[in-house]
Structure 1
Amino acid sequence: MTIRAVRGATQLEVDEAGHLLERTAELMQAVLKRNDLTSDDVISIFLTATPDVRSAFPAAAVRALGITDVPLMCAQELDVDGAMPRVIRLMAHIETARARDGIRHVYLHGTTVLRDDLAEDDE
């Protein structure tokens, strides 16, 4: 097994706790599914939110999925003029047999523009 990083992002329609938790859980589940992972394959997860997101910690959504024994950290993205609003980003360190170019990064709800070189068309 090799340690790799997988990236992802999702955009919120509104900054409300329930919506944030739903979208973050959807993102985490998609990362696991698209990369044939279980929570046992996850080493750590780093989550960020744009400065306009204040309703909840994205890590709470991951914990609610039952991923309770993986180190998680939340942080705020840089407040850059013109940046896409209400975005949750994720970077998970994983153990996998996949080659680096076999990692499937996940960009949902309009965030493909953040990394169109990594994103897939199957939102």
Structure 2
Amino acid sequence: MTRGIRGATTISENKADMIIENTRQLIEEMVTKNNVEPEDVSHVFISVTKDLNAAFPAKALRKLSGWTYVPVMCMAEIEVPNSLPSCIRVMMIVNTDIDQAAIQHVFHNEAVHLRPDLAGKVEKQ
């Protein structure tokens, strides 16, 4: 079964190291919370708001062991008036037996406001 795992974060400045490091932290937490192995990942989409262009956030995945062959694509987020700025969003598509309601989505920094219902979700035992 394939499932989508959402993640999002914001950064304070459009700097390459901040984009890559915050994306890495986000991906690592998504992987840890959902017991994901790179071989289980079908593909990853990463979008950024128009104010972030200093680096491709996909570079963060290339720094992770075992992620060399995982297809990753970066794209621009659509511009919606009054939407959250400086935001990096991740959609990871994985093969898993985890029930959809048990998926642990991850939101860092100001991105917790995107989906407060998912950001505060407690892991199911």
Cα offset for 1:46? 0.3
Instruction: Please list the CA deviations of residues 3-61 of structure 1 after superposition, one character each: whole Å capped at 9, or x if unmatched.
Output: 11100100011110001110000000000000011112111000000000010001111
Q: Is the 8 A contact 1:106 1:120 kept in 2?
A: no
1:106 and 2:106 matched:
yes
**How many aligned residue pairs are there?**
121
- The equivalent of 2:26 in structure 1 is 27
Identity across the alignment (%) = 35
Letter matched to residue 110 of structure 2: G
Cα offset for 1:121? 6.6
Cα offset for 1:120? 2.4
**What's the secondary structure of 2:62's corresponding residue?**
helix
- The equivalent of 1:64 in structure 2 is 63
Paired with 2:95 and 2:120, the residues of 1 have a C-alpha distance of 22
After superposing on structure 2, the runs of 4+ consecutive aligned residues of structure 1 that deviate more than 3 Å are none
Q: Which runs of 5+ in 2 are unaligned?
A: none
1:54 and 2:53 matched:
yes
1:94 and 2:94 matched:
yes
TM-score when scaled to structure 2? 0.92
Letter matched to residue 68 of structure 1: T
Q: Which runs of 5+ in 1 are unaligned?
A: none
